[in-house]
Structure 1
Amino acid sequence: MKRELHQLAQQHEQINETFLVVRGERHDFLKHVSAIHFMLENDETPKAKAYLDDLVDGYERTNLAIKGERGSVAGVLHQMYRRASSSGVSIVYDLDVPLSTLPISDHDLVTLLGNLLSNSIDATIEWQDKYKEQGLITLQFYKRSGLYILLAKNHSLAIPTNILDKLFHTYGRTTKTGEHHGIGTKMINNIVEKNNGYLDFTYKKEEFSVKIKLPALQ
């Protein structure tokens, strides 16, 4: 119950944060236009272009996280994107259709995405710390032949075989070191099974991938 309440509080905070980001971008839009106009009037075209490129990049990051998504889903996607970016991790959302189209409850969807992305970020940060290179996370979502397919990939350090064998089936199994309890992976599998889905995962050449298939109709 405490974990459920904590997750609900996090979801509320994520939605509020996303709303404030979008509101702030809209509020400042005319200021940015005025700044670019001033640069162009003063023949500072290269400077204006650089300013515009940076502005568009910021808008695209926000848009990728919220486009077509319900508030709760947009909140967790945006929050995870910011968390990854602040740690130097490159994160890519490649979504053919909004994740909100999945025929499962908002609560299950937020829990699924939150744990999946949080695990990916933690593992990738550990990989970055060892190799001193930028890690990558990709989240793909598409629909094929009556199935929704969610595919997450991330850099990861070596995972012992005894951990891999029971990773998504028992509590206390985790791919990460330090203060992690292995609860998230079991919760992911519980949600997939609850919604008549199928989960598969692989680890190869320091890349961990999870593929989840869920029926388009429940």
Structure 2
Amino acid sequence: MKTHKLYWALTAILGTVHLQALVMNLPWKTPIYYTSLLALGIAYFIYRKSALNLSALEVKWHIYLFLMQMILITFYIADLPFLIELVPFLIFIGLEAVRQAGSKKLHTLSHELQQFEEQRNHMNETFRIVRSERHDFLKHVSAVHFLLENGKNKEAKDYLDELVGGYEETNLSIKGERGIVAGALHQMYKTAHAAGISIVYDLDLPLSSLPFSDHNIVALIGNLLSNSIDASKEWQEAHKEQAQISLQFYKKSGLYILICKNTAMPIPNDILDQLYEIYGITTKSDGHAGLGTKIIHDIVNEHQGYLDFVYKKEEFTVKIKIPAIR
């Protein structure tokens, strides 16, 4: 946080210096507090509209960029025409655009790499569980057969109930899904259960049917369910009751429809108004960047989809419609 404040302070100061030096050659006199207010206003606008991940760029690159922006100030010393002095000012803006674009791109790549590693681990874990269940299947059948032969019907039923419950959990996640999608669904299911949250997958067809790449399906589902789990945990802690999550997926009238519902604490209106549209807007506590909701919004927009959400009676619902066109 301190680094971000220092960055915006330096940017506002340099912007003020550049603007003031630029307007010095105009026929009229412009007070420095006008240029200061303009520079601060622009800096604040960019701050609100973009997520600047300073740590994505090494410190030396930030220093180089600031030094280059400071060196540009020397061009104003010569008494040059306004249009010529406009060049270093535009270069100053260009360098700042490079910093922001570079930071964002590097942060996105780093985030995607981390997600890829997590997805690979989830997929490996899911198929390890499936192989383990297949390996032990005959042993379970033998155990049930033994109990029935010895007239222990109740014990056999209890054993089967426990066995089917475990298989059901895995089957909900993997039926008809491609490997990486199955891994993500299974991991989210386990995470919710570990937190004591009731989670239900009501999938009329596999999520892998979506006309997306596997990477986008996992990013969409992963962020939706991750946000739901975080919100449900917070609700559980406040109410001391079990939270609920449901994920529904079906096809209707040429549209894939995905609905995710979860219990959630009240969300301020100013956050609801900008949710899924701007980086940095989040319903979570400090420490979250609000990146997930914008990723969901971008994926839906990229595939000409429609996203709607509503919060009512401590339940948050996200409804996504995607044209069934590949």
TM-score calculated relative to the size of structure 2: 0.66
Does 1:150 pair with 2:258?
Answer: yes
Bigger RCO (CA 8 Å, 6+ sep): 1
Once residues 175 and 49 of structure 1 are traced to their aligned partners in structure 2, the CA distance between those partners, rounded to angstroms, is 45
What's the RMSD between the two structures over aligned residues?
0.8
Please state which structure has a larger fraction of its residues in strand.
Answer: 1
Q: After TM superposition, list the pairs within 5 Å mapping 1:176-195 onto structure 2.
A: 176-195=284-303
In structure 2, the residue matched to 1:80 is: 188
In structure 2, the residue matched to 1:43 is: 151
* Unaligned residue ranges in structure 2 (runs of 5+): 1-108
- 1:64 shift after superposition: 0.8
In structure 2, the residue matched to 1:204 is: 312
* Unaligned residue ranges in structure 1 (runs of 5+): none
SS state at 1:152 partner:
strand
Q: Which runs of 4+ in 1 moved over 4 A?
A: none
Q: After TM superposition, list the pairs within 5 Å mapping 1:11-30 onto structure 2.
A: 11-30=119-138
133, 152, 177: which one aligns with 2:241: 133
**Alignment deviations for residues 88-143 of structure 1 (CA, whole Å, 9 cap, x no partner):** 00100001111101111111111000000000001001101111111110000000
Matched length: 218
SS state at 2:321 partner:
strand
TM-score calculated relative to the size of structure 1: 0.98
In structure 2, the residue matched to 1:165 is: 273
- AA in 1 matched with 2:282: T
In structure 2, the residue matched to 1:34 is: 142
SS state at 1:24 partner:
helix
- 1:36 shift after superposition: 1.2
Once residues 285 and 147 of structure 2 are traced to their aligned partners in structure 1, the CA distance between those partners, rounded to angstroms, is 50
Once residues 196 and 140 of structure 2 are traced to their aligned partners in structure 1, the CA distance between those partners, rounded to angstroms, is 26
Please state which structure has a larger fraction of its residues in helix.
Answer: 2
Larger Rg: 2
- 1:37 shift after superposition: 1.6
In structure 2, the residue matched to 1:54 is: 162
- 1:178 shift after superposition: 3.9
- 1:197 shift after superposition: 0.5
Once residues 141 and 201 of structure 1 are traced to their aligned partners in structure 2, the CA distance between those partners, rounded to angstroms, is 16
* Paired-residue identity, %: 63
